[in-house]
Structure 1
Amino acid sequence: MHSHFSNDPSKKKGFGDLMQSMNEFFHEKPMRGMLQSIDDFFTSASNPFNSFPVDFKENDDYYLITAELPGVKKEQINLEVFPNFVTITVMNMELYSEENTKSQVIKRKQTMNRSSRTIPFPSVVNEKNVKASYKDGLLQIKVEKQSGKRISID
C-alpha cells in the first residue's frame, strides 16, 4: 500500500506553517492598518452614526418616540412611518481632500455613515397622522393610534 503522506520531516508542511503564513500576512503593515481601521470604526463610541438612543412612550391616544441625535442636521434624517412601525435613518457624508503646495489634490477621501433604527408599535397606527419635530438634537415623533369606528347597534 502506497501512502501520499511522507514521514520525511523536511517535507512536512502542515497546519502550523499555514497558520504562521496567515499570521505574517495579517501583521504586515498594509493589512494591519486596514484591519485596525475596521476595528476603530466599529468600536468608536464617539461616532453618532453607529447607533442612537430612542425612547418610546405610549399615551391613551398616541405614541411618542424621542431619538437623541446630537450633532445631526435635520437634512440628514429620514423618517418612514408604516402601520406597524417607524424607521429613523440618519445619513452623513463627508468629503476630505488634501492638497499640495501647488493646489493639486493629492489625496481625496469620501465616507458615508448610515444608521437606522426601527421601532415597532404595539398596535396598528394611522400613518397619515404623524407629526415630527427636531430641535437641539432631539427628534420627536408623535404618532396617533388607529381608533376603531364606533357602530350603533340596531
Structure 2
Amino acid sequence: MLIRNNFFNDFFGDMFDDPFFNRGYAPQTQLMKTDIREKDGQYLLEIEVPGFTKDDVKAELKEGYLTITADRKEPVERADERTKYVRKERYYGTMKRTFYIGEEITENEIHAAFKDGILKIMIDKPQPKKIEEEKTIIPIEG
C-alpha cells in the first residue's frame, strides 16, 4: 500500500509539473483583469474579482488615485490525515490595483456595484471648465 501511495503522489506531482498543465499559468497577471469603456459621459470600469464577495472588495479614492483592494482569507480546515492536496491554485490573500483618475474627481462622482465576481465602477467624466475672459478696459491717454 505504501508503494502504491508513493506511485500516485509521484504520478500526480509529475503530471501537474508538466508544461502542458502550466501553460499560461501566471497567477499574478491573471488577477483583477479590467475593461474600461467610455459611454454617455461616464467611464465604466469592469474589474474581475472571481471568487471574492462584495465584503472582500474595497474601493478607495485618495489624491486622484482610485485603488481597488480585494482580500480573501484561506478557510481554516480541520486536519484530516486521509486528505492531502496535490495542487492548490485558488488565490487567497490580498491583491490591489490602482488607477489614476485625476484630482478633480470626487467620491460623489463615482458609483460602484458588485455582482457575480465583477466590480463595476462608473466615474462621471469631468466637465470642462468654462474660462470666462475678463475684460479689462485700458485707459487711453491723449
TM-score with structure 1 setting the length = 0.51
Partner of 1:61: 41
When you count strand as a share of all residues, which structure comes out higher? Answer: 1
2:60 is aligned with 1:80 = yes
Cα RMSD, aligned residues only: 3.5
Poorly superposed stretches of 4+, deviation over 4 Å: 44-50, 151-154
In the alignment, is the contact (CA less than 8 A) between 2:31 and 2:49 conserved in 1?
no
Q: Which has the higher contact order (CA 8 A, sep 6+)?
A: 2
1:2-151 alignment runs, 5 A limit? 45=25, 51-59=31-39, 61-82=41-62, 84-99=64-79, 113-121=93-101, 124-150=104-130
Q: Larger Cα Rg: Structure 1 or Structure 2? A: 1
Percent identical pairs in the alignment equals 26
Q: Distance in 2 between matches of 1:131 and 1:82?
A: 15
Structure 2: runs of 5+ lacking an equivalent: 1-23, 81-90, 135-142
Residues 49 and 92 (structure 1 numbering): CA distance in 2 closer, same or farther, change over 3 Å? farther
- Measure the CA separation in 2 of the matches of 1:71 and 1:99: 24
Deviation per CA, 1:33-58: give whole Å up to 9, x if none. Answer: xxxxxxxxxxx949689722011223
CA deviation profile, 1:44-73 (whole Å, cap 9, x unmatched): 949689722011223462211110122211
| Structure 1: 5+ residue stretches without partners | 1-43, 101-110
TM-score, normalised relative to structure 2: 0.55
